[in-house]
Structure 1
Amino acid sequence: MKTRYLMNKKGYLVALFSLALTACSSVSVSTDYDQEADFSRLNGFNWLPESAVVEKESAYLNNRIMDERITKAIDKQLVAQGFNFASTADFYINYSITAEKKTDIRTYDNYSGYGPSWGWGVGYGHRGMSLSAHTETRIDEYQQGSLIIDVIDPKSLELIWRGIGSKRLPESTDAAEMDKLVADVVKSILVKFPPKVK
């Protein structure tokens, strides 16, 4: 991450607090689905066969360890929601991942406190206290990652549901923290499946 600071020490603390809030932010989720599909009949699932898989794309998460982590998280979440892994599936699952470089520019009015001041009126002088303030700017570059989970009809191989979860990616983390991050993103997406069709 490349970060440039234009601020004093107090403003630095403000920026650190803002960064902590961003890191703990929730997953942004969007979904779409085929309104003609009958989701009530879906029970057994399996992964999209390799012959039909489009190569996964990612500038950030394209590795075998991450692939296994995401696959296991999706399996676990679907089973927790009452679906069963089956050789003859009612629907196929597939996922893809992307990463996009983002820039966050924030400007703060930093009030540094009260101090003595002098002022003059018409014919009178007075003393008092004034509040001093100045503007601070933080420029923060980071990676925004998106996990896309697809539900596919096994007969037509047509997409019938898609969920996308996006979150700011950490610069570095250990395996246990990454397990939790992936599980949180997967759950945030799949709790919206199947869609609540009116």
Structure 2
Amino acid sequence: MLKIKLLLVTTLLILSVGCTSNSAKISFDKNTNIDTKNYKTFAWLTTAKIMAPPTDINPVMKVRVDESIEQAFIAKGYQLIDDAEKADFTISYTVGSREEIKVNSYPSTYNTGFGWGSGYYGGRGFYGASMGTDTSVRQYTQGKLAIDVYDVKTHQPVWHGWATKRLSSDDKETPSATINDVVSQVVNQFN
């Protein structure tokens, strides 16, 4: 019974790691010369909110990102105000995506187990045949979001947080959930 439980737990762990392999990669950079501990209010850096919009930006998606970023900072306890000159810090963001191609090439014997196929023994095989290769090509969309924070008093950049994520069909079908999740992860790195 103990072995079955151990096998079940191991299987669940492997599945959970496999399911999170498409998670966003989050990182940030901080200007350590500026103290952010007393920040209470924020505003958008510009009325456009987005720093440099891509030419093909979806306006509905832009509104979702605007609102998600506002809500993420509010959830951290900051108050959104209209006048950028009276705020403690201002925010802006950039978004983008690009099509990526991933090519994998393996010896044909790679998929047959331990390499005991026709390509074994240095590519000559038992009868001198050369080893073939199996090649797979996958195309996917890589999305990126970057959020910037600027100190109002010094007019200096304070913080730059970003996320990259391989967008799945589920992400494209439920974009609001994906946006909220990624924005929340990025903004949670700010302190």
1:157 Cα offset (Å): 3.2
Q: Secondary structure at the match of 2:22?
A: coil
Match of 1:160 in 2: 158
Distance of aligned partners of 1:57 and 1:74 in 2 relative to their CA distance in 1, 3 Å threshold: same
1:28 Cα offset (Å): 0.6
Q: Distance in 2 between matches of 1:95 and 1:53?
A: 5
1:176-191 matches, within 5 Å, as 177-191=174-188
Alignment RMSD (CA, Å): 2.9
Which segment drifts farther, 151-160 or 93-102?
Answer: 151-160
Q: Distance in 2 between matches of 1:23 and 1:32?
A: 24
Given candidates 70, 76, 81, the residue that maps to 1:81 is 76
Are the equivalent residues in 2 in contact too, given 1:110–1:135 (CA < 8 A)?
no
Given candidates 132, 135, 142, the residue that maps to 1:137 is 135
Indicate the structure with greater strand content: 1
Per the normalisation by structure 1, the TM-score is: 0.65
Matched length: 151
Match of 1:128 in 2: none
Per the normalisation by structure 2, the TM-score is: 0.68
> Which segments of 5 or more consecutive residues in structure 2 lack a partner in the other structure?
1-17, 114-131
Distance of aligned partners of 1:64 and 1:156 in 2 relative to their CA distance in 1, 3 Å threshold: farther
1:32 Cα offset (Å): 0.6
1:146 Cα offset (Å): 0.6
- 4+ residue runs of structure 1 moved beyond 4 angstroms? 21-24
1:169 Cα offset (Å): 2.3
Q: Distance in 1 between matches of 2:48 and 2:134?
A: 54
Indicate the structure with greater helix content: 2
1:101 Cα offset (Å): 2.8
**Are residue 111 (structure 1) and residue 109 (structure 2) matched?**
no
- Bigger radius of gyration, 1 or 2? 1
Match of 1:38 in 2: 35
> Which segments of 5 or more consecutive residues in structure 1 lack a partner in the other structure?
1-20, 113-133
Amino acid at match of 1:142: Y
- Percent identical among aligned pairs is 27
